Chains A and B, each alone.
Chain A
């Protein structure tokens, strides 16, 4: 029997009394909450993360002791292996790849929850514990959706899959149908015992896989921040529900915290992008249609290079109060170091320089901040939209690098467009604006940016920002 070979000859079942164990679980849950709370201050965030990590480590230890798993030595190689892979991934990843790493990690967490729940389901299926059975079934479904949804999202972000939204014929119908089937399967697994557990499990996994994929393939670039935070929330939910199925209080608690906070973060993203969460879930395709229309007539925007007799270099030289607006285009062009150099030149020239970041710039929330800070921009100079939006009118110059939709003034008044009502950076309030954008095509929203057509005080330098910025920098240093 395997039992004799997998167990070391001791038991820890009675080391902790139940009371002490639950007390410790409560303390660890509070520690996790404290860790999240510390994340609200830049200076303390590091400690917050360490406290959370410590809490989980202790959680693992007390679980090993209380549930008498410590003598089951065969779990250690798996733990060590997973840890090594995780640490290597964390060390190797480049900051621009953060979104896909987070998606991938999300996915593996979801998969782990699905496996745990499958075990619980197989064990509980014939029994009377309807609560355990239905939560196990639900966790299998949510975990599997998280896994495949995250894999597709990560694949898109890592350019292994086409990044354009893939819309199948009857996409919405397929999503709804799959969801319906899943509901039936979960109810079946929870309350009836007609088929064998294995068949039911297989059906749940197949349909969850289908739903996860169908859900994620239709998400395009700019909806990624929302999708990633939603999947993040789902992986927490999956863990919490799996916790119900295996009666683990710490799992339920921490999973719940992650699920709820992920959902809240998703709402913040939706608000910042003026999207409705339900629309994204069901895959409304208004955005895509608009984009298709815009793509038919790309020449509609005149190819303006310079409308003014004044050289943009002169404007940059004379400005004393400058705001820089970086967008995902900057990240794609890997131009953040050049942006920092430009800022340093401006500062050396006696100008004050601030960075203005839109909440959904980049491919995940806060992504742009991380990229700038990695490039060595001090975080004191980086401002959130609401803190800097009033300053655009006083600023002498705004430099936009690879951003479009997040500053499109059409959001204020173009009713019926996808961005109508979306909060934007008030770049159009600034009297001088220099753009370093790849082209003048409408952004992801498909709405043309009227600021490009402004008669005065707009300079547009088209092309790869890493080239155009280097060019302007060399001109600046010559003079």
Chain B
């Protein structure tokens, strides 16, 4: 294994532990926005999609690479953009104060 792979494992361990600890403090009323926010974060795979597409375009099957790569990019982007936007929409509702409740 290469050095980068050991670093990746270390990064993975630290991230999981810290993430695990942080969630404990989130109140259950915020679990839906939390989850959709997390969901958006999991679209971080867009980074992999970009990288894989760029690599595949240099390979000897660029067309297949382009098609599947674009598919991955589209899907990951739906995940990221949709996730953050809908989380923001929900949290905006939470942000409303008590005095603005008669806005039906």
Measured CB to CB, the residues of A under 8 A from B are 2-3, 6, 29, 32-33, 35-37, 39-40, 42-43, 45-46, 48-50, 52-53, 56, 59-60, 63-64, 67-69, 72, 74-75, 77-79, 81-87, 89-91, 93, 95, 98, 101-102, 105-106, 108-113, 115-120, 123, 131-132, 228-229, 232, 235-236, 238-240, 242-244, 246-265, 268, 337, 357, 359, 364-367, 369-370, 373-374, 376-380, 382, 384-385
Contact = CB atoms under 8 A, between A and B. Distances in A.
B81 A264 contact: no
Nearest to B46: A60
Given A109-B76, A256-B15, A257-B16, A238 B45 contact: yes
Contact of A108 (B19, B33, B78): B78
B74 A258 contact: no
B82 A36 contact: no
Nearest to A132: B5
A374 B93 contact: yes
B86 A46 contact: no
Given A32-B41, A105-B79, 19 more contacts: A33-B15, A39-B37, A42-B27, A74-B57, A82-B76, A105-B78, A105-B82, A105-B83, A106-B39, A112-B43, A116-B45, A247-B4, A249-B7, A260-B19, A265-B34, A337-B104, A370-B33, A379-B29, A382-B29
B83 to A, nearest CB: 5
Interface of B: 1, 4-5, 7-9, 11-20, 22-59, 62-63, 65-66, 68-98, 101-104
Contact of A69 (B1, B38, B54, B81): B54
A381 to B, nearest CB: 8
A67 B15 contact: no
Nearest to A369: B29
B78 A42 contact: no
A49 B89 CA distance: 10
Contacts of B30: 39-40, 42, 45, 366, 369
Contacts of B31: 265, 268, 359, 364-366, 369
B27 to A, nearest CB: 6
B36 A102 contact: yes
13 contacts: A33-B19, A46-B92, A59-B44, A82-B81, A87-B82, A102-B32, A105-B36, A109-B39, A111-B72, A112-B49, A112-B76, A261-B38, A364-B35
B26 A39 contact: yes
Contacts of A74: 53, 57, 66, 70
A46 B102 CA distance: 22
Find the residue from A42, A93, A120, A238 having the highest chain B CB count within 10 A: A42
Given A45-B91, A60-B47, A249 B20 contact: no
A119 B29 CA distance: 40
B15 A367 contact: no
Given A246-B48, A263-B20, A79 B40 contact: no
B91 A258 contact: no
Given A2-B63, A123-B55, A40 B25 contact: yes
Given A81-B77, A108-B76, A252 B8 contact: yes
B44 A380 contact: no
A39 B52 CA distance: 32
A257 B14 CA distance: 9
Contact of A102 (B12, B27, B35, B103): B35
A339 to B, nearest CB: 13
Find the residue from A239, A263, A377 having the highest chain B CB count within 10 A: A239
B51 A63 contact: yes
